[in-house]
A and B are shown apart, each in its own frame.
Chain A
């Protein structure tokens, strides 16, 4: 599903990492771990097609390094769902509007988008009613916001889900629930999660880890994949 080779990232003269490879399959749950500043988020931005690629990156057979900014944006809007640590819901829009953005932008009619969004939200938040849908994101608890954020990530049925510390701001119960969902989703989709939490190793299939580069050529190197489950 995702195949990356010889990826290089530099900020000026500072080399964050160079010549790293990464692979994630469809129907798998991959986690990326490492200490702060090791390059996890940088890699995530590349895998999510947000940053330009220096190296080879193929997602679902498409060479991402050959695409320009707008083509990459179009690609990720269609193929990737995002879950953020800070939920990233837009405060000017209601819950339902936040969730329908990917569908409406894809050209679906507002009515159809609302019907589909309601279905997905109700699946994740069974207690959600009409009043809930029209609420502003700031009126919800952290757990509820993250569930809405997951609903938005799933609404257009993407092949890949990329998440950055999705449970960092949640309590233990909500955190477990989200991890379980991600595990469930990984049966069909390619799930990539950047996280500090060791707990994820219980749920994930593969682990990549950023460690310090002992050769001092770059800041860190990516080790992996480590298989976390018996197939």
Chain B
């Protein structure tokens, strides 16, 4: 058997090595694009979707004062409705008029207008403006740009976010560097917005803790308006909303979903997802087709030699296929190791989030592609052999 492989190796080494060299790059390209696509999708979900309330459950009577036990009981009953519910956070919401204090930073226009104040009981991503540390460092200033925004969001968890866009779109339209200040002047908290936010709605939102939001809005500390529910997966929103609407008492809660108001954005997101898969499939399909044509051509080119061996009584179809499978296996393993070793680095070069699931999915895709390639190459080798390896008489 080994001697037969040696003959196949001598006949096909050059053309097969070229072919698998190209296959290596196709696989690397495929795996990288897949990783980056998944990473980008995750980053979109992380930054613009998972931080958003997917489903809003509003008490029919707003600004309800409940004791913590009652809030916990409500949260528990909401969570128990579906295992796909990731978190339930109580909230309070309202609007507050903000005056510009005359600061002019970077030549931007100053802002006078309403700011939506949202108090949340979540610990992360919400800045507690009662914090003593903040008081010491006033005036507190955060600077961000559209590109660094995501980065800062992730590394600096305690910033307050003004960005209506987050609620309305996966694709924020913020063009300039924005600055805002918030400080305590003579014992009164004053919000100073130094410029207009060029977002989707050109309006601002301040996330903070429930007690602080209550103080700004109602001068009380313990009211809530309802709950924000987040799901593990975006595509579960519709299903869970339906369940919540069915199971929660209609006279107490009003359930609305993120999807109902942002259906257009969701469609865009789905379209992006579908298109990227289609484009990726087309590119990979064409690459594989090209490589398979090389394989076919390699066998056609050696048809005379194969015919001589066939006439002498040596049919090498099985050996060619096994040789091809061996090279395919080795190439796939090299690509898989490369992706495991360098995958995270590649993704982090684009400042995108990386998870092991992405890596696992890429590896599955590589091996799946390998199996498809193997099946098609078997058909091609058989056909090329059948057509070309004939008697040399």
Contacts and interface: CB of A to CB of B under 8 A. Distances in A.
Interface string B196-209: 00000000000000
Interface stretch (B86-94, B153-161, B311-319): B311-319
B392 A86 contact: yes
B309 interface: yes
| B4, B309, B393: most-surrounded residue (chain A CB, <10 A) | B393
Nearest to A40: B393
A45 B391 CA distance: 7
A48 interface: yes
Nearest to A108: B3
A24 B224 CA distance: 105
B11 interface: yes
A70 B305 CA distance: 18
B305 A76 contact: no
Contacts of A84: 311, 392-393
Nearest to B3: A104
A101 B393 CA distance: 19
B393 A102 contact: no
A92 interface: yes
B302 to A, nearest CB: 8
A164 interface: yes
A82 interface: yes
B312 A101 contact: yes
B269 to A, nearest CB: 55
A101 B311 contact: no
A43 to B, nearest CB: 10
Contacts of B312: 76-77, 82, 101-102
B71 interface: no
Contact of B308 (A69, A90, A104, A107): A90
A69 B313 contact: no
Interface in B1-59: 3-4, 7, 10-11
B11 A88 contact: no
A48 B313 CA distance: 10
Given A45-B393, A48-B391, A92-B11, A105 B3 contact: yes
Contacts of B183: none
Contacts of B75: none
B43 to A, nearest CB: 52
A227 interface: no
Interface in B267-320: 305, 308-315
Nearest to B1: A107
Interface string B307-338: 01111111100000000000000000000000
A75 B393 contact: no
Contacts of B308: 88-90
| A75, A92, A102: most-surrounded residue (chain B CB, <10 A) | A92
Contacts of A110: 3
A130 B157 CA distance: 79
A133 B109 CA distance: 90
Contacts of B315: 69-70, 73
Interface of A: 41, 44-45, 48, 50-51, 69-70, 73-78, 80, 82, 84, 86, 88-93, 101-102, 104-105, 107, 110, 164, 194
23 contacts: A41-B393, A45-B391, A48-B391, A50-B391, A69-B315, A73-B315, A75-B313, A76-B313, A77-B312, A78-B313, A80-B313, A84-B393, A88-B308, A88-B311, A91-B305, A92-B11, A93-B10, A101-B312, A101-B314, A102-B313, A105-B3, A105-B314, A107-B3
